[in-house]
């Protein structure tokens, strides 16, 4: 299982972060931080980042500037 | 009833009196605008006796509303020459509210040279104390000495040597809740030098024996709305990167899309941006015993602050923010997070704005005085500021002063104030805010980055900037901006909160009207100070040079900027 924002989806071998997001139906934009097990994945690396079973994806959205 | 503290530095006396009726229902930026236009001549010398330093609480001071204890500081800016409100977190606003003080005004200048600090004791007595023994002492050491003298429960608002030397980049530092580190800053516009010109080193506020009780029009209704509000902000915070990591997380967005300034707003990308991003930051925090999720003021549920230690696990800095990291980092071609943290600490200690100072350093790099990316050379220049060398003093006067002195063509300032960490070619609404805000180039005045309408074209950019500039005017009068960002979906609740506190209609339009009135008052003040529409422009190179990252230029024309506030 992979958890995306508290929702579980089935894990498939070789699944990337991008695939998991597609599967979950969660949408992201360029203000989204994709966090996999507490590590931020750059938006242009989502297809390269391969998941292991049990990983947790959190989507955080920047709502104001620092 | 709320009190106002008037500190007359010529007579060396402090008076505590009930706040005037016209300011009773105001707070923060709204209060500062109305006070300044009535009491400080717009054409006065910012460092002369006619200018006044105004320090105040928000509209919701003394209540349990999350982040309501934001401290607003204002006056005629020594940097921009116009009106200025700059706000900070920390524990001072909370402590002032506990003392029943809504507002402090500092007037006139002493007849004879000297240095003083204002002391508010636990019984509410106020006095001016001799501060000559603290002359030339920077913020961290000063707070330590004050803690030795009065205990560690005091809140301190202070200036370092930046303010004492009247640097135009001088900040006013505020102690952080719990840690007492003077790391929260009302940084922009050189208000530290205004405080320095009054020869006021600090305001020290003790915890009162008896807490001030706020008078509510309808306390039950207020508590109900307040609970709803706090729950809404807490729910939003869970998904907010600022809560999870801190404002450093902004770099993950700006670094990828050309908004992060690189090499003095050259428009280039900085491929190593993640070296100064969240993963590095969090790894360093956990390896060295640092912390995030720290509230800078009591009761904040977002808790975006942090405590960053050096390689040996020793405290280095706190409130280590995106702007500082972006501008001392990629904008100076530096990717060493520890070096940037050290620069942050030096600036907080001296009491200078990190945004202004980092941009001034970028001028030194652009001119070839020091090399891009040379963090040791940067630290040496900051040391020159501390030592008060001729060039150090020049850096203290900010980006424009250094850029002009070194013959730099691309000087990123509006109304003499340096740009924050967003390239306006790739967030044009923010560029419109930079150009037209009465505050000068200020990201907190209306940052449009990331709004859904970002790609929707020029008219939409102007519309969003306009709307946000009004919204920030009322938000800066009520709470921390980062909480307000989560309140935007339930604005009528703000109307309910105001009505249950002060009485009258529970109508959001009174809140919006306060925002519009504040903005128009500030623009009027600047006009009376001699600013014209020509001051509402970005530097020419943003219109001329393309961003390498996106091919974009700042193409909002003069007419579009001029009609922005034709209400
Ligand atoms: S959100 Fe951050 S800056 Fe705002 S009050 Fe909380 S800790 Fe302070």
> pLDDT at position B439, please?
98
**Fold of the domain spanning B3-205:** Aldehyde Ferredoxin Oxidoreductase;  A, domain 1 (3.60.9)
Give CA–CA dist B223/B228, Å, rounded: 9
**Residue A50 scores a pLDDT above 80:** yes
Residue in B239, B245, B482 nearest the CB of A64: B482
What is the average per-residue pLDDT within B364-379?
98
- Give contacts of B486 with chain A, Cβ < 8 Å: 63
**Residue B458 scores a pLDDT above 80:** no
Q: Which two tokens stand for residue B162?
A: 């930046």
Q: What percent of chain B has pLDDT over 90?
A: 95
**Residue B516 scores a pLDDT above 70:** yes
Q: ipTM for the complex?
A: 0.94
Q: Is B113 at the interface with chain A, CB within 8 A?
A: no
Q: How confident is the model at residue B461 (pLDDT cuts 50, 70, 90)?
A: confident
Domain A2-61: CATH superfamily is Beta-grasp domain (3.10.20.30)
> pLDDT at position A66, please?
64
**Residue B207 scores a pLDDT above 70:** yes
Side-chain half-sphere of B137: how many Cα atoms within 13 Å?
16
What is the average per-residue pLDDT within B116-126?
98
Can you tell me which residue has the tokens 């007359």?
A: B8
Q: Which two tokens stand for residue B453?
A: 């309408």
pLDDT digits (tens, 9 = 90+) for B390-419: 999 999 999 999 999 999 999 999 999 999
Q: How confident is the model at residue B454 (pLDDT cuts 50, 70, 90)?
A: low
Q: What is the pTM of this model?
A: 0.97
CA distance B200 to chain A (A): 30
> pLDDT at position B469, please?
96
What is the average per-residue pLDDT within B478-484?
97
> pLDDT at position B456, please?
65
Instruction: State the distance from the centre of ligand 1 to the C-alpha of B482, rounded, in angstroms.
Output: 7
Q: Which two tokens stand for residue B99?
A: 């003392």
How remote is the C-alpha of B254 from its chain's centroid? 20
**Residue B451 scores a pLDDT above 80:** no
> pLDDT at position B457, please?
74
> pLDDT at position B566, please?
77
- Measured CA to CA in angstroms, residue B385 lies from B167, B271, B349, B395 at distances of 10, 31, 11, 7
Q: How confident is the model at residue A9 (pLDDT cuts 50, 70, 90)?
A: very high
- Give contacts of A38 with chain B, Cβ < 8 Å: 282
What is the average per-residue pLDDT within B329-356?
98
Contact B241 A61 (CB under 8 A): yes
**Residue B326 scores a pLDDT above 80:** yes
pLDDT digits (tens, 9 = 90+) for B137-157: 999 999 999 999 999 999 999
**Residue B385 scores a pLDDT above 90:** yes
**Residue in chain B nearest A60 by alpha carbon:** B239
**Residue B337 scores a pLDDT above 90:** yes
Beta-strand runs (E) in B421-553: none
Q: Is B281 at the interface with chain A, CB within 8 A?
A: no
Q: Is B283 at the interface with chain A, CB within 8 A?
A: no
Portion 17-46 of A in contact with B at CB < 8 A: 29-31, 33, 35, 38-40, 42-44
Residue in B241, B256, B322 nearest the CB of A43: B256
> pLDDT at position B38, please?
98
Query: Residue A17 contacts by C-beta under 8 Å, 6 or more apart in sequence?
Result: A34, A36, A41, A46, A47, A49, A51, A57
For chain B, what are the domain ranges? 3-205
Q: What is the average pLDDT score of chain B?
A: 96
What is the average per-residue pLDDT within B340-357?
98
How remote is the C-alpha of B372 from its chain's centroid? 27
Whether residue B482 has its Cβ less than 6 Å from ligand 1: yes
* For ligand 1, mutation pick of B300, B320, B472 (most atoms within 8 Å of CB): B300
Give CA–CA dist B196/B198, Å, rounded: 5
Q: How confident is the model at residue A57 (pLDDT cuts 50, 70, 90)?
A: very high
Whether residue B396 has its Cβ less than 6 Å from ligand 1: no
**Residue B376 scores a pLDDT above 60:** yes
């Amino acid at each position: 299982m992979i958890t995306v924002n508290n929702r579980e989806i089935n894990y498939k071998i070789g699944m990337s972060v991008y695939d998991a997001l597609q599967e979950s139906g969660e949408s992201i934009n360029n203000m989204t931080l994709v966090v996999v097990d507490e590590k931020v994945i750059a938006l242009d690396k989502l297809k390269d980042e391969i998941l292991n079973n049990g990983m947790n994806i959190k989507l955080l959205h920047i709502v104001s500037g620092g | 009833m709320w009190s106002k503290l008037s500190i007359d530095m010529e007579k060396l006396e402090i008076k505590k009196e009930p706040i005037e009726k016209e300011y009773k229902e105001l707070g923060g930026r709204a209060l500062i605008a109305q006070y300044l236009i009535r009491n400080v001549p717009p054409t006065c010398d910012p460092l002369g006796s006619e200018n006044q330093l105004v320090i105040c609480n928000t509209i919701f001071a003394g209540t349990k509303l999350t982040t309501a204890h934001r401290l607003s500081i204002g006056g005629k800016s020594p940097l921009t020459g116009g009106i200025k409100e700059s706000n900070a977190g920390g524990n001072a606003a909370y402590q002032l509210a506990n003392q029943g003080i809504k507002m402090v005004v500092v007037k006139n200048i002493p007849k004879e040279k000297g240095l003083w600090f204002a002391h508010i004791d636990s019984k509410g007595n106020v006095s001016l104390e001799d501060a000559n023994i603290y002359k030339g002492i920077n913020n961290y050491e000063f707070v330590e000495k004050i803690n030795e003298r009065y205990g560690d429960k005091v809140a301190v608002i202070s200036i370092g040597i930046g303010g004492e030397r009247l640097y135009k980049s001088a900040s006013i530092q505020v102690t952080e809740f719990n840690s007492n580190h003077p790391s929260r800053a009302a940084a922009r516009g050189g208000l530290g030098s205004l405080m320095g010109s009054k020869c006021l080193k600090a305001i020290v506020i003790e915890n009162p024996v008896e807490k001030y009780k706020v008078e509510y029009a309808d306390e039950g209704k207020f508590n109900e709305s307040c609970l709803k509000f706090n729950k809404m902000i807490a729910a939003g915070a869970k998904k907010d990167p600022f809560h999870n990591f801190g404002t450093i997380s902004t770099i993950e967005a700006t670094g990828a899309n050309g908004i992060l300034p690189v090499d003095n707003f050259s428009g280039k990308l900085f491929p190593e941006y993640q070296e100064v991003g969240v993963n590095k930051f969090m790894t360093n925090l956990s390896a060295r015993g640092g912390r995030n999720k720290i509230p800078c003021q009591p009761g904040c549920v977002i808790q975006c602050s942090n405590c960053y230690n050096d390689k040996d696990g020793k405290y280095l800095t706190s409130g280590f923010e995106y702007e500082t990291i972006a501008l001392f980092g990629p904008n100076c071609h530096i990717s060493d997070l520890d070096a940037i943290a050290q620069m942050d600490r030096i600036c907080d200690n001296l009491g200078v704005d990190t945004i202004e100072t980092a941009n001034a350093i970028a001028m030194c790099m652009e001119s070839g005085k020091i090399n891009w990316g040379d963090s040791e050379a940067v630290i040496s220049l900051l040391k020159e500021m501390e030592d008060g060398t001729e060039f150090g003093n020049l850096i203290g006067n900010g980006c424009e002063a250094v850029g002009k002195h070194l013959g730099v063509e691309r000087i990123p300032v509006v109304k003499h104030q340096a740009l924050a960490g967003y390239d306006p070619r790739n967030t044009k609404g923010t560029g419109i805010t930079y150009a037209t805000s009465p505050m000068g180039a200020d990201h907190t005045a209306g940052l449009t980055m990331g709004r859904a309408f970002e790609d929707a074209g020029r008219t939409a950019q102007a519309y969003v900037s306009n709307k946000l500039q009004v919204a920030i005017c009322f938000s800066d009068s009520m709470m921390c901006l980062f909480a307000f960002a989560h309140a935007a979906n339930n604005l009528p609740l703000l109307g309910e909160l105001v009505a249950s506190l002060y009485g009258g209609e529970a109508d959001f339009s009174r809140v919006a009207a306060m925002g519009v009135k504040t903005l128009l008052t500030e623009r009027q003040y600047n006009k009376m100070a001699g600013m014209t529409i020509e001051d509402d422009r970005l530097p020419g190179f943003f219109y001329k040079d393309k961003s390498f990252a996106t091919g974009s230029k700042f193409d909002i024309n003069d007419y579009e900027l001029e009609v922005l506030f034709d209400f």
